[in-house]
Amino acid sequence: MPELPEVEGVVRSLQPFVKHKRLEEIEISRTIQLSHENGKEAIIKGMDPDQFANALLHWEIKAVTRKAKYIYFHLTKEGNSALLVNHLGMTGAWFYVKDIHDIREEKFAKHRHVTFLLSDGHYLVYSDIRRFGELRLLENEQSHSPLLQIAPEPFDEKAEEFFIQRSKENKYVNKTIKETIMDGQVVSGCGNIYATEALYRMRILPTKRVKTISIVKRRQLFQAIVNVLLESIEAGGSSISDYRSINGEAGSMQDRLQMYGKKNCPTCGKTVLQKVIAGRNSWYCTSCQK
């Protein structure tokens, strides 16, 4: 699943191409239409596909920003504003192309679900192989309460103290540290890959209970999370499995990962153990991580 660095890469790539472009036509795939007809509401949330397409006509994309793992398309029309929110899910990807056939990877071309014709004649395409992503048209951020519950950006000055205070709450003290730092209401945008890497860098077992970790160590861990996120942003994210930035571009952070998906510990050489924590595979070394 794309995490904060990958989403940041998509936003930075999209912004120069789509800013100040109008949405002139919107096409929804038959797959999504059928999903809604069967009551499953794939990708497009909160309204039926035809309503979604009609509601978006002729809005201008004023800016593209990110909040945690969400992409925000800020829209404007006739003095009004709206917000198109996107979560990439497991396999979501955006393409900005002159021709639909310019989407080179067949798996993304085959699963093209929402296509926007822009005022410059190009297409902005949302593809999603597994259809776990979402597009939600809102009046504003306050219209969807889960967005307001997200922790501060990890790079904000207040984020570390926010993490420390949340980690002291009864809700979290008995949870594993891995589960806690992957909770978007505790740390914003830190998913499985970067939680695994930060814990390895700090030599902390992902199964360790929060209450057994000192406040000093928690602060150091938070800084390790920030550092690994910044490093990944610089590297264009981790292109593992089906993640791509726009137009199929891949990142290189996967080449720098030290623990995620590894068979042997790069420090001691011992076999890496694997365990499911909070529904996600975790890799760790019991020799180096305590």
Please list the active-site residues. 2-3, 69, 280
| 222 residue type, one letter | F
Q: Are strands 70-77 and 60-67 parallel, antiparallel or unpaired?
A: antiparallel
Residue 61 main-chain phi, psi, to 5 deg: -80, 110
Q: What is the Cα–Cα distance from 17 to 202, expressed in whole angstroms? A: 39
Burial 98-124 (b: 16+ CB within 10 A, else e): eeeeebeeeebeebbbbbbbbeeebbb
Q: What is the Cα–Cα distance from 156 to 187, expressed in whole angstroms? A: 11
| 233 residue type, one letter | I
Continuous H helices in the chain:
4-18, 30-37, 49-56, 106-110, 159-167, 170-173, 177-181, 192-201, 215-234
Inter-residue contact 182 to 280 (CB < 8 Å): yes
Q: What is the Cα–Cα distance from 193 to 72, expressed in whole angstroms? A: 23
